[in-house]
Chain A
């Protein structure tokens, strides 16, 4: 999946993957009952940074992206009550004095928005200063994570 992009699948066995998450955050929603899963890679915490880009790329921002991801999962048959979220990414540069913390702000924004929507964050692999790749197996709901360097591990 590209930057600012999202995808939803309805349990037909298709996997969803995001390669090379930096400060960007992958939000994965999954409904175990219906096997509907959705994934978003958003880049920035708040669409106020560029409202015209938010219209063009709603997946770019936490607020517009997560709202659209939830709507798309529900339209694909997911039940709101059984949807859970998993998060990955949100890395930041090492600090030399106070500096921009876009990764941290992205994670905070995602949690706040999901909480407001009543979706529980079940697991997360966020922060630090590594690139991450995530993959969701929609048939089983298992999510796998890879840090570079490092091998695949399950994110529970």
Chain B
């Protein structure tokens, strides 16, 4: 999709993505890295440090000890949880009120965290394990909305008119009115922030994983299901609502029934309650 310069300019105006996040991820993936190195890198970013300390005492991370410093937080969290916590702490600062979707920063962030948690529940069931990369992809899947929302707001009446008939998905209307959709725009943002190609691809295909060339990778499909399960549970509250296609092939490819999906959704509530400190790091006034 050729991108209009106005979208490129909007991406260019975003604050720089915190280098700390990618440096921590690289250190985690390097088994020779030391705890001292990790602590040293995290401490360079005071906002991330503050958010990690706030989040790591949540029941979601299941720490037995209350921690009040970065060294102990990283020591007790474990490597994969450090990636999750640092990613959430770093990404959260970009979430803001998005007028076109009529959501505030909290709604959008709540949906991002919800999808990330849901992706882990689905991964446990489908892959038999959790996956920190999947967590990151799910956390970022709607990042395109932080920019596209402003453009939707300007064309609100046209959106309402096209959506009224009910025949088009919100994504299709975004393309029709703006020549861009939030999934494709999100992919470009992730590329500008130097996220790896598989995460970019997942963001691009989170509504239509069936249209991706690399259709065999389970990650975009799991993020698709996680996103939709959260929409069904009303986590997000945007004007786009549930106006996206549900793909029968998404559940079929993992041999899931509607009942299986319901069981995962039932497990989600406890997980979401346990993660309220993660949800709470973004405030509506931002």
A residues apposed to B, CB below 8 Å: 3-4, 19-24, 43-46, 48-50, 53, 56-57, 60, 89, 91-103, 105, 128-131, 148-149
15 A-B contacts (beta carbon < 8 Å): A20-B107, A20-B237, A22-B242, A24-B234, A43-B233, A43-B266, A50-B266, A89-B234, A92-B246, A94-B242, A96-B248, A97-B248, A102-B265, A129-B242, A148-B102
A96-B245 contact, Cβ under 8 Å, with A50-B263, A60-B269: yes
Interface centre among B156, B236, B244, B266 (most CB of A within 10 A): B266
Q: Which of B1-9, B24-32, B128-136, B254-262 contacts A (4 or more CB under 8 A)?
A: B254-262
Q: Is the CB of A129 within 8 A of B259?
A: no
B248 touches A129 (CB 8 A): no
A23 touches B266 (CB 8 A): no
> B34 interface residue, CB < 8 Å from A?
no
A60 and B232 within 8 A (CB): no
Among A24, A56, A129, point to the contact of B243 (Cβ < 8 A): A129
CB pair B265–A43 under 8 Å, yes or no, is yes
Q: Are B239 and A149 within 8 A (Cβ)?
A: yes
Please give me the 5 A-B residue pairs with the lowest Cβ-Cβ distance, nearest first: A93-B246, A22-B234, A20-B234, A23-B232, A99-B246
- Cβ of B18 within 8 Å of any chain A Cβ, yes or no, is no
Let me know if A92 and B269 touch, CB within 8 A. Answer: no
Provided the pairs A4-B269, A93-B228 are in contact, do residues A102 and B262 lie with their beta carbons within 8 angstroms?
A: yes
- For the complex formed, measure the closest distance between the CB of B176 and the CB atoms of chain A, giving whole angstroms: 15
Find out whether the CB atom of B247 lies under 8 angstroms from the CB atom of A43: no
Given A24-B234, A148-B102: A49 in contact with B242 (beta carbons within 8 A): no
Contact at B259–A49, with CB atoms within 8 Å? yes
Q: How far is the CA of A102 from the CA of B266 in the complex (A)?
A: 13
Expressed in whole angstroms, the minimum distance between the Cβ of B22 and any Cβ of chain A is 34
Q: Which of the residues A4, A97, A102 comes within 8 Å of B258, measured between beta carbons?
A: A102
Smallest CB separation, B275 vs chain A (Å):
13
Please report which residues of chain B, range 188-232, place their CB below 8 angstroms from some CB of chain A when the two chains form the complex. Answer: 228, 231-232
Distance of A149 Cα from B241 Cα, bound (Å): 9
Provide the bound-state CA to CA distance between A44 and B232, in Å: 10
**Given A20-B237, A24-B233, A148-B102: A3 and B269 within 8 A (CB)?**
yes
Q: Are A94 and B245 in contact (CB under 8 A)?
A: yes
CA–CA, A95 to B241, complex, Å?
A: 14
Contacts of B238 in A (CB 8 A): 131, 148
Q: CA–CA, A129 to B246, complex, Å?
A: 11
Asked whether, in the complex, the Cβ of B248 is within 8 Å of the Cβ of A49, the reply is no
Does the CB pair A22–B102 fall under 8 Å? Answer: no
B251 interface hit (Cβ, 8 Å):
yes
**Bound complex: CA of A98 vs CA of B259, how far in Å?**
15
Q: How far is the CB of A52 from chain B (nearest CB, A)?
A: 9
Kindly state whether residue B169 has any CB partner on chain A within 8 Å.
yes
Tell me whether B245 and A148 are in contact (CB under 8 A): no
B241 touches A53 (CB 8 A): no
Judge whether B270 and A94 touch: CB under 8 Å: no
Contact B246 A96 (CB under 8 A): yes
Q: Does A53 lie within 8 Å of B266, measured CB to CB?
A: yes
CB distance from B76 to the nearest CB of A (A): 27
Contact at B242–A99, with CB atoms within 8 Å? no
Tell which of A53, A92, A96 touches B242, judged by Cβ atoms closer than 8 Å: A92
Q: Is A49 touching B266 in the complex (CB atoms < 8 A)? A: yes
